[in-house]
Amino acid sequence: MQLRPDFTFDRFVRGPGCGEALDACKALAKPGLMTHGMLFLSGSTGVGKTHLLHSIAHAVLKRHPEARLFRTAAIDLAHKLVEGIRHDRLSSVRQEYRKLQVLLVDDFHVLASLPFTQSEVAVILKSSAESGVRVACAGIIASQVQVLSRVLRFPLSSLLVAVKQPTPPEMRRILMSKLTKSELKVFEKHLNVIARRCRGDVGRAIGALAELRFSSSVQTG
């Protein structure tokens, strides 16, 4: 299981649009009783959902290095589920996930066009949570809310937290936090251009910053 070393809670820049999601993920990562032990994150591309999933994993493993934690993409979980059905091993697959302590699923939106598979994956999430597994999913889109609520048998709204796009000033703060970790000097006007052009997509903005870093190293090399 590969985790980004820089995707931790202390490297996630809090803002008005992501504070609730940050607090919810920190709560899921902490030991103790929870009502459902499940969390669903929604939001557009590049706002930090994957960062938060990795942060949960880092926090859990820091506290318990031997924790049974599994992070996967929704489509990979779906493929494993299909294989289980094909080889008459569905109950074994479900039992495998119930033995975990933490299950993190990213890019859940890709299952929206696969209604049967999506429902079966939701059953696995539900049975895992009922067995005490902490479950966090990222990438939920509007069309999936009703389906998941029906399978989970409680309103998904109680577990759904939005990660909203940062405003340009927030984006500048995020980029500045990245710059403090490097020796790259960037003019304020360049940060403003990146923040404006990337339109709330943090991943894209960080990519643009990395390109600046590379260009600078080539020119000074």
| Model confidence, pTM | 0.85
15-51 pLDDT tens trace = 889 999 999 999 999 987 666 689 999 999 889 999 9
Buried b (16+ CB within 10 A) or exposed e, 76-85: ebbebbbebe
Per the CB < 8 A criterion, the answer to whether 198 and 167 are in contact is no
Running DSSP on this structure, what letter comes out for residue 88?
A: T
Token duo for residue 117: 């598979």
Residues in Cβ contact with 217 at an 8 Å cutoff, skipping those fewer than 6 apart: none
Comma-separated ranges of CATH 3.40.50.300 domains in the chain = 9-162
Q: Residue 153: name the closest of 173, 127, 132 by CA.
A: 127
Paired strand residues for 137:
40, 105
Tens of pLDDT, residues 196-208: 777 778 888 877 7
Mean pLDDT to the nearest integer, 154-170: 84
pLDDT at 55: 97
CATH class of the domain at 9-162:
alpha beta
The rounded distance, in Å, linking the Cα atoms of 93 and 102 is: 16
Confidence of residue 178 (pLDDT cuts 50, 70, 90): confident
The predicted structure's pLDDT at residue 204 = 83
